[in-house]
């Protein structure tokens, strides 16, 4: 569940008495349908969400179905009132568990190399132009200390505003099935009156 925004206009980094309780701290694990419901409050935001859903479909077309995505940035803020402008994009970090067909680093590297243009289209700046996503990847089967260092970097980046205020982020699982994304698309259509 995603908590409501705090009075500061930011997603709180934790809810309850203490940040030590996993269920009450960011990243808040949720569904794409819930992200759409909570943050698709304007036509512009819904357009960005449509881009994110298209992005997730592009990932599935490259056999990226395991892992999750961290969503952060001004999209999870009330920037319309706090900054006087809508969010410009959706910040997204895809935490990739390589597909079982590519269990070795060499097989995964060969898959990336053979689909280089498609993978390049899924990273910034191309992802911003095509999907409205400021998008990055983190491979979870990298050496453990590299995963730890990358997690520190991305969590530190996503968990603070430009004014250095601590804030929350959300985590949405990837999946081979389109069920969650289909529910999100249906909610977008309902919100858009189609």
pLDDT in tens, 1-48: 899 999 999 999 999 888 888 888 999 999 999 999 999 999 999 999
Other C-beta atoms closer than 10 Å to the C-beta of 146 total 12
* CA 28 from centre of chain: 11
pLDDT tops 90 at residue 143: no
CA distance 121 to 135: 10
- Are 125 and 88 a contacting pair, CB within 8 Å? no
Lowest-confidence pick of 45-59, 98-112, 168-182: 98-112
Q: CB within 8 A of 186, min separation 6: which ones?
A: none
DSSP H or E stretch at residue 153:
helix 144-158
> Closest Cα partner for 171 from 142, 187, 151?
151
pLDDT tops 90 at residue 54: yes
Beta-sheet strand order (sheet of 133-139): 28-29, 170-173, 67-72, 90-96, 133-139
> Closest Cα partner for 77 from 91, 63, 64?
91
pLDDT tops 90 at residue 178: no
> Closest Cα partner for 173 from 5, 8, 59?
59
Average pLDDT over residues 171-176: 89
Higher per-residue confidence, 194 vs 115: 115
pLDDT tops 90 at residue 172: yes
At 95 the pLDDT is 95
* CA 175 from centre of chain: 14
Q: Which residue, chain included where needed, has tokens 């992802």?
A: 127
Q: Is the peptide bond before 31 cis (omega within 30 degrees of 0)?
A: no
At 28 the pLDDT is 95
At 138 the pLDDT is 93
Q: Which two tokens stand for residue 40?
A: 């698709």
């Amino acid at each position: 569940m995603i908590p409501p925004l705090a009075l500061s206009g930011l997603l709180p980094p934790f809810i309850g008495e203490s940040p030590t309780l996993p269920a009450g701290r960011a990243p808040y694990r949720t569904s794409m349908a819930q992200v759409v419901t909570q943050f698709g409050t304007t036509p512009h935001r819904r357009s960005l969400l449509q881009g994110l859903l298209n992005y997730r479909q592009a990932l599935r077309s490259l056999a990226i179905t395991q892992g999750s995505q961290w969503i952060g940035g001004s999209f999870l803020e009330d920037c319309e009132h706090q900054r006087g402008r809508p969010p410009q994009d959706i910040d997204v970090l895809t935490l990739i568990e390589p597909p079982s067909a590519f269990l070795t680093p060499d097989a995964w590297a060969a898959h990336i190399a053979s689909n280089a243009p498609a993978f390049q289209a899924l990273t910034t700046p191309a992802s911003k132009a095509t999907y409205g996503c400021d998008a990055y990847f983190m491979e979870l089967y990298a050496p453990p200390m590299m995963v730890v260092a990358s997690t520190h970097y991305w969590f530190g980046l996503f968990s603070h505003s430009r004014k250095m205020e601590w804030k929350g982020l959300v985590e949405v699982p990837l999946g081979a099935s389109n069920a969650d994304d289909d529910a999100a698309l249906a909610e977008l259509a309902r919100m858009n009156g189609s």
